[in-house]
Structures are given as C-alpha cells and as structure tokens.
Amino acid sequence: MPNIKAVNHIAVVVDDMEKSLSFWRDALGIEVHELRDVPVEKSQVAFLPLAGSEVELVKPTSDDSGIAKYLAKRGPGMHHICLEVDDLDAMLVQLKSKGIHLINEEPRTAADGKKYAFVHPESTSGVLVELYQV
Ligand code: CO
C-alpha cells in the first residue's frame, strides 16, 4: 500500500510577486530560498521553505500558460496542495481503482527528476492536489 508522508508544499498563484512577497517574506518573515523563472511552465516561482514543507508563489510570465488562464479565471489565491507519497505509481493505481479523476494518469517527471501527478479537484472537494514522490 502506498503511503502519504507529508505536506510537501502549498502553491499560491500571484499576479504581483513583489506585492505577494511583502506579506510572505517581509511581514511573516519567511526567508526566500529561491526566486527563479521556469520557462517550460511560463512562470516565475518563489520558494519559501518551512520546517519540512514549503510555500511556493507562482506568477505567470506569459498570457497563454495554464497558470495565466487560472489567474484570469479565478484571480490570485490558493492553487494546489502537494502531498508527498512513497510510491507514486502504486498510489495512481489505487486512486484509479477507486474512480478518482486524475489529471495525469501517468507520473510526470520534473526538471529535477522528481515524479509528480495531479488529481482533479472534482474528486477532492475542490482542491487541486499534487502528488510528489521524492
Ligand atoms: Co506544486
């Protein structure tokens, strides 16, 4: 049986990175570990690590990206919660067997080699859920 281990990160879509950092970094005092462009996702991402977890701020850098469409439709806010799983393939099989609607039926591989897949919000009480195998 695959096991969920932890909340890996929480992702927030932002329309103005500096304005967002004035809360997350300056007011709350969380250190920004990394701020970089992710050309393949047409977005800019800020990583703010916490003990065992992370807040990710994501800003679109192009109007035609998935994140830009999300922002246009819903405005800034909570985008997804990412759960760490010890066996992503097994978890996807388990979810499919229970009729859960998956956005990625097969694991995708990030630039850093981590495997991930998204679960559709219609199966999760409205929250986009990312599953991550570290
Ligand atoms: Co994520």
CA distance 121 to 55: 20
CA distance 43 to 57: 10
CA distance 47 to 35: 6
Query: Diameter of the chain by CA atoms?
Result: 45
- Whether this prediction's pTM lies above 0.85 is answered by yes
Q: Where are the domains of the chain?
A: 4-133
pLDDT tens across 67-79, in order? 999 999 999 999 9
Percent of the chain with pLDDT over 70: 100
| Ligand 1 geometric centre to CA of 129 (Å) | 9
| Ligand 1 geometric centre to CA of 24 (Å) | 17
| Ligand 1 geometric centre to CA of 72 (Å) | 19
Segments of the chain with pLDDT less than 70: none
Question: What confidence score (pLDDT) does residue 113 get?
Answer: 87
| Ligand 1 geometric centre to CA of 90 (Å) | 20
pLDDT tens across 24-47, in order? 999 999 999 999 998 888 999 999
| Ligand 1 geometric centre to CA of 51 (Å) | 17
Question: What confidence score (pLDDT) does residue 119 get?
Answer: 98
Domain 4-133 classification at class level:
alpha beta
Q: What sign for the dihedral angle of Cα 96, 99, 105, 107?
A: negative
